[in-house]
Structure 1
Amino acid sequence: MFLSSLISRARRTVRGSAEDIGWLQHGVHTLPNSMVYLLVPGLISNHGPLYFVNTKMRFSKMGLACHIAKIHSEASIEKNAREIKEYIEEIYWGSSKRVLLLGHSKGGVDAAAALSMYWPDLRDKVAGLVLAQSPYGGSPKASDILQEGQLEDLAYEKRKEFLRKHQLPKELSVVSLNTEAGLAPGVLAMFSHVAHAELPLVAPLAAGQSAKLPVVMPLAAAMAACAQLLQVRYGEKSDGLVTCRDAEVPGSVVGRPKHKLDHAWMVYSSMNDDSSDITGGDWTEAEG
């Protein structure tokens, strides 16, 4: 034991910090396993079975406890806030670990509502909150086009009314992320993997052949078109659905990646084979 320790110290003295310098660029990341990570999905998650799947897999590969909140994303903010509160309490009682919430899009708004409405009950059970591309201040899409119905809660007037009544506690650690959608012609050729389609088994499959086909959609092109519209009409930069300014929670630590990333980037994988592209799982890990 002593000899092993002595050798280790001698090696460290000779090597110095050579193995540590630049560790962030070497793909060596560590997140604490002293907490449980709860991913809160946004709108259309009920219609997209692969929503947050890659992100959850990334956490699982690091040996971290991670759950996706099974809420009805199109329900009201107040209803989802109650359900998220119950998720947090159930996770805490089962693991005795505090919960770090990561909400995407409306999921971030729902998660923030849960903490602002039920903070006395959740104070000792929550480690922090990360909002990714969330319309915390509201959404011009909800106000201008889709104000009534399921998106009414995200209209500016509704958000102003809600935030007058319910503010995030000052002692809560909050990180908010905003991104800009790419407008270059290349985004028109990008497709996102959103689901799997089962093939009818009319004949036996060959060894190793999958009965599933990837379902892809040109989400990047759609987000680019929406972002350009917001840029022309309001002069505001956005990820296609949420403006950068509306995604920043006052008083929070704000992340603004240099990469051009649209609203769907974090939750759906791209069919682009460029390994240099960062993924939602990469940024989620960095946020933690």
Structure 2
Amino acid sequence: MDDILTNLLRLTSYISDRFLKFIEDLVLRDAVRYTENFGATPLGNSSAHNSKRYYTRSTSLQPSQVGSENHEIYGRRVINNNSELLVDTRSIAVNASYVSAAVPSLLLKGLTLPFLGLQYAWSLGMASCRYSFSCIRCAQLQVHRITSRVLKTLRGSSDDIGWLQHAPGMPPVHDGSSRFLELLSDIRNGKDSIPSSFVYLLIPGLFSNHGPLYFVATKRFFSKMGLACHIAKVHSEASVEHNAMEIKQYIEEIYWGSGKPVMLLGHSKGGIDAAAALSLYWSDLKGKVAGLALVQSPYGGTPIASDILREGQIGDKETRRILELIICKIIKGDIRALEDLTYEKRKDFIMKHKLPLDIPLISFRSEASITPSVLATMTQIAHAELPRLILPKFGSKVSDQFVESGRQVPVMVPVSAAMAAFALHLQLRYGEKSDGVVTCRDAEVPGSVVVRPNMKLDHAWMVYSSNSKKKKSSEPDAREMCQAIFTLLVELGKTEREVEQVL
């Protein structure tokens, strides 16, 4: 504030001095012009002319008429007197001009003192007003910024959920739930119809590296049936494009090693990675992939990831720092693995890279149960690595193997309870049914055959249901579900080939 007032005082003083100088220059210019006009009067010219004429006349007289010496002396005196008179007249005029210029200058300076005071007061008042207006403007901007952040946080993903169903140019989906339930019933009754002419590749989802039982029971189930089944060893916490390249290499190795086309089944982010591999490298994979099933995959995006990583909302920077610390430092993953599941990233990727529709596609989506009994469920699906913990040895081989295996301790995690809580949150906030992570509308892939089971299955059901010891015999598990999905893929492939042959 002091600097502003000092600068205003300097500017006011400078302007007033320039104004006075301008007025003085005008007055002095008028005085000089008047003096020049006064010096050029006929009096001076006539005196000089008369003196010159007199001098000429006197010098032209004959010595016989007047005495030469007397006349010459007299003529010189007359000329000197005239010149002195002219000089005195001009000096008087110049002195008069200085006096006439000095008097208005003093008067103007005396008159401008009140004007300068008023100008200083006006400048001081304007500076205060400008400072007040700037403070008010800053406060308005801050309030607007906070309000926009609050509104964006409250709005969340309301405008993004189910965007695939309204996007232009997207092919419609077909309901295959009834046929899927028929195949599932046949499988549970002992009618196995899945062929061995394919290699079945299971692709795990996000954070699968920390779940040692991920797809293990399903792979063992398929192997006992004499089928070639593999679990893709991808870095689950890597980006979608990185995993797409690894899956492409996996498919090529399997195809050239076995000579059989590959059936793909991806769970959660694994389905996104598999779909990205087909979208990016279809020219290399055409003829090597026989079908793709996306099970509980956020193909259109998930509100969980978008609500956490959305920019411009309250606490966005702090939340991102915490996630980067957990994913990048602790889990040794890539933050892009979670970013690629947001609506913004999925929209950009799907619009740029179209999924090929000349292979069988199945999208499996489900709805989680939100009953109070589910909130108390505990599920053993994860493990904790304790490399620095010194565990006691009791002399048994089991203990030695346990210590040598990297000290992997199974952890009881309430996954079902967490999925139920998330599903309840999404239903109350957005009015959307979900499996706890993916909404039902975002899991349906355009142009695919959609499977909508008539059971309450959360997002982690495909992982832990095969390993649960308390499974009811009347309910199917993940192994049977995967077999029914692959069987439906084989039927869709046969139907497409028959249609091509007819055409």
Deviations 1:91-117 (A, max 9, x none): 000000000010000000000000011
Match of 1:190 in 2: 377
Question: 2-side partners of 1:37 and 1:116: how far apart?
Answer: 20
AA of the residue aligned to 1:255: V
Match of 1:163 in 2: 350
AA of the residue aligned to 1:283: M
Query: Is residue 394 of structure 2 the alignment partner of residue 202 of structure 1?
Result: yes
Match of 1:248 in 2: 444
Match of 2:359 in 1: 172
Question: 2-side partners of 1:80 and 1:267: how far apart?
Answer: 20
CA RMSD of aligned residues (A): 2.2
Compared CA separation, residues 236 and 197, structure 1 to 2 (3 A): closer
SS at match of 2:436: coil
Question: 2-side partners of 1:189 and 1:203: how far apart?
Answer: 37
Could you tell me which of 73, 90, 106 is aligned with 2:253?
90
Match of 2:459 in 1: 263
Match of 1:230 in 2: 426
Size of the aligned set, in residue pairs, is 264
AA of the residue aligned to 1:106: K
Compared CA separation, residues 84 and 143, structure 1 to 2 (3 A): same
Compared CA separation, residues 23 and 163, structure 1 to 2 (3 A): closer
The offset of 1:23, in angstroms, is 4.3
AA of the residue aligned to 2:291: G
Deviations 1:234-265 (A, max 9, x none): 10000000001101101101111111010001
Question: 1-side partners of 2:202 and 2:208: how far apart?
Answer: 12
Question: 2-side partners of 1:121 and 1:140: how far apart?
Answer: 33
AA of the residue aligned to 1:81: A
Question: 1-side partners of 2:210 and 2:383: how far apart?
Answer: 12
- Contact kept in structure 1, 2:210 and 2:382, CA below 8 Å: no
Deviations 1:73-129 (A, max 9, x none): 111111110010000000000000000010000000000000011001100100000
> Which has the larger strand fraction?
1
Question: 2-side partners of 1:205 and 1:88: how far apart?
Answer: 39
Q: Work out which of the two has the higher radius of gyration on C-alpha atoms and give 1 or 2.
A: 2
- Contact kept in structure 1, 2:210 and 2:383, CA below 8 Å: no
For 1:59-138, list aligned pairs within 5 A. Answer: 59-138=222-301
The offset of 1:28, in angstroms, is 2.2
SS at match of 2:262: strand
Q: TM-score, normalised by structure 2?
A: 0.50
> Which has the larger helix fraction?
2
Match of 1:9 in 2: none
AA of the residue aligned to 1:179: S
Question: 2-side partners of 1:28 and 1:162: how far apart?
Answer: 40
AA of the residue aligned to 2:347: K
Q: TM-score, normalised by structure 1?
A: 0.85
The offset of 1:221, in angstroms, is 0.6
- Contact kept in structure 1, 2:267 and 2:295, CA below 8 Å: yes
Question: 1-side partners of 2:397 and 2:256: how far apart?
Answer: 46
Match of 1:287 in 2: 485
The offset of 1:190, in angstroms, is 2.6
Question: 1-side partners of 2:474 and 2:232: how far apart?
Answer: 30
Gaps of 5+ in 1: 1-21
Query: Is residue 352 of structure 2 the alignment partner of residue 154 of structure 1?
Result: no
The offset of 1:175, in angstroms, is 0.4
Match of 2:193 in 1: 30
- Contact kept in structure 1, 2:262 and 2:289, CA below 8 Å: yes
SS at match of 1:154: coil
- Contact kept in structure 2, 1:129 and 1:173, CA below 8 Å: yes
Structure 1 runs (4+) deviating above 3 angstroms are: 22-25, 195-201, 203-206, 210-215
Compared CA separation, residues 98 and 231, structure 1 to 2 (3 A): same
The offset of 1:194, in angstroms, is 1.2
Identity of aligned residues (%): 63
The offset of 1:213, in angstroms, is 7.7
